Amino acid sequence: MTRKFLKALLLSTALVVSGNVIKAQAADAICYNCPPQWADWASQLKSIKKHLGYDIPHDNKNSGQTLSQLLAEKGSPVADVAYYGVSFGIQAGEKGVVSAYKPAHFDEIPAGLKDPDGKWFTIHSGTLGLFVNIDALEGKPVPKSWKDLLKPDYKGMVGYLDPSSAFVGYAGAVAVNRAMGGSLDNFDAGIQYFKDLGKNDPIVPKQTSYARVLSGEIPILFDYDFNAYRAKYKDKANVAFVIPEEGTVVVPYVMSLVKNGPNPEKGKKILDFIMSTEGQKVWANAFLRPIRASAMSKEAAAKFLPASDYARSKPLDYAKMAKVQNAFKERYLNEVR
């Protein structure tokens, strides 16, 4: 399939997939991995439309699928910008599928949370924990720790996104591994945990599963704080967010300008807008921590768990997290799945 044909197809009719429903929508630019149910991309894309006039279709890829697609299309790129977990952003920079670009307010991003040349940069972060539908527990207590999930009481109730593909799944594996005594040099503890959890019949989807938690299909999901807060405060669901007693991780999400994308100037303007105060407020209002802390309102901050709970969440060596990801993936596929 030629680049000219692909571009014409995407510009004339972008496919938005939600379950079995496919909706046609004109596209001015393409963002890979911008799903409406994740991190309130629905509101961000509406804001981009309002301020820039660009129609960007929803895209339900996960981070791993996004990187795979960028690599497959390296000779004829289709996307203009891409969004993913930090380890995939680092890999995209190393594999030459993204361009160096320093968006507005680039200097405000702390070192370690951006590529020095701008091949990837953090736009917001989340804390990984347990997103719990209290009603779906059927009277069982809200779990307080990673170890609690191994109890027979929670058989068939625990879900985590596939860590060999979805970034949130890999982040969960890194968090569990460290909590169980492992490190980025040794995933033995994490692999053993997933083997033990396997006895409890976990649910392991590949895609964002926010709706499945709200419906009660997945009562407990390894997920970020922002999804749980969204469910509690916006969808008024009876849910809780738990930062496990053994500790967890803080994880950045990043964006990049796709190398040789079809609309580079639009791509740059989109990234500039996302880093603007207006764009950053969208993340803050969706209970994410914007990389520009000034965009977080006191009202939004007051809805987070207490600082004493967040003290159990720690940052990582994100470059090393990216470096060891493929080795973990192989172990997980060979020893767990």
CA distance 160 to 222: 5
CA distance 208 to 59: 11
CB 71 within 8 A of CB 60: no
Instruction: Transcribe 6-35 into DSSP letters.
Output: HHHHHHH-EEEEETTEEEEE--SS-EESB-
CA distance 223 to 288: 13
- Which burial class, exposed, middle or buried, applies to 134 when counting CB atoms under 10 A from its CB (0-12, 13-18, 19+)? middle
What are the residue ranges in the chain where pLDDT is below 50? 1-25
Relative orientation angle of helices 41-52 and 277-285, to the nearest 10 degrees: 160
Tokens of 150: 């191994």
CA distance 41 to 43: 5
Instruction: Look at residue 297 in the predicted model and tell me its pLDDT.
Output: 82
Residue 307 burial (CB count, 10 A):
7
Among residues 285, 41, 201, 235, the alpha carbon closest in space to that of 131 is found at 235
Instruction: Look at residue 26 in the predicted model and tell me its pLDDT.
Output: 59
The residue type of 235 is D
Instruction: Transcribe 116-137 into DSSP letters.
Output: TTSSSEEEEEEEEEEEEETGGG
Instruction: Look at residue 320 in the predicted model and tell me its pLDDT.
Output: 95
